[in-house]
Amino acid sequence: MQKSLRKIALVAGAATAAIGLTAGTASAVPSTVWTVTPSPANFTAANSGNIVLSVNGVPMTCTTSGASGTMQSATGNPATVANINAINFGASGSPCTSVLGNVVTVATTPWTVVAADYNATTGVTTGHVGNVDANVTVGACKFRVTGKASGTYTNSTGALAVNSVSGDLTVVSATNCGAAVPVGAKPTFKGTYLVKQTGSTVIPKIVGSNP
C-alpha cells in the first residue's frame, strides 16, 4: 500500500512539474502576429539627432540622414514588417564626418525592419534592421559593411531607435584602410529615425499578439 502511495505521489509530482514547465514555456512565447497600421503603406523617416557608425573606436557622424520604404502587417517570429528601399547618409552642404575625413556612404537596399517581440504596456517592438549592406568611403579608404543592427520601435513617437551591438555588423572588405578599418572589424551603428506615413503626419503603429 505504501509503495502504491509513493508511486501515485511520484506520478502526481511529475505531472505537476510538466504542467508548470508547459505554462512557463507558453508564457514566454513572443508575439507572432504583427498588425501594422496603416498597412500596406509607404513611409518616410528622418534622423532625430546624430547617426553614428563607429569602426575600431573611430566615430563617423552624420547630422543628416533619411529613409523611405514600405510597411505591412505580417505573421511570424521574427517577421519583416517594413522594407527600407532607400536610405541616405549626409547631404549637400552637410556631409558625414570623421577624424579621417568626410564620409560617403552608399547603401545597397532593400534593408528590412524585423519585429521579434512586443511590449503591450510600453507599445515598444524589439527587433532589428536587417539585410544591412553599405559601401563606405573615407578619403582613400573604402570598405563594405554587412549584417544587421539591433533596435526598437516606439508606437507613441514613431521612433525607430537603432542601437547595434558589436557583432551585429562586420567589415567584409576593405581597400587602402590599413589598421584603421581591417576586414573582420565589428562596427556599431547607432541613431534614431522618426517614422511617418508618406505625405502625412500619421505615425505608424506596430502591435504584436499571440495567435
pLDDT tens profile 94-105: 999 999 999 999
Instruction: Give the Cα separation of 97 and 103 in Å (integer).
Output: 5
Domains of the chain by residue range: 39-207
40 cis-preceded (ω within 30 degrees of 0): yes
**Which cell is 39 given?**
498597412
What are the pLDDT digits (tens) for 104-129?
Answer: 999 999 999 999 999 999 999 999 99
pLDDT at 17 over 70: no
Q: What is the arithmetic mean of pLDDT over 137-163? A: 97
Count, in order, helices (H) and strands (E) of the chain.
Answer: 1, 15
Question: Hey, what's the cell of 177?
Answer: 584602410
Question: What is the residue type of 78?
Answer: P
- Residue type at 38 in one-letter notation: P
The pLDDT value recorded for residue 22 is 32
For 39-207, give the CATH class: mainly beta
Q: Highest mean pLDDT range out of 2-11, 15-24, 33-42?
A: 33-42
Residue 31 is predicted with a pLDDT of 56
Residue 7's SS3 state is helix
pLDDT-derived band at 210 (thresholds 50, 70, 90) equals confident
Cell of 157: 513617437
C-alpha to C-alpha distance for 75 and 40, rounded to whole angstroms? 14
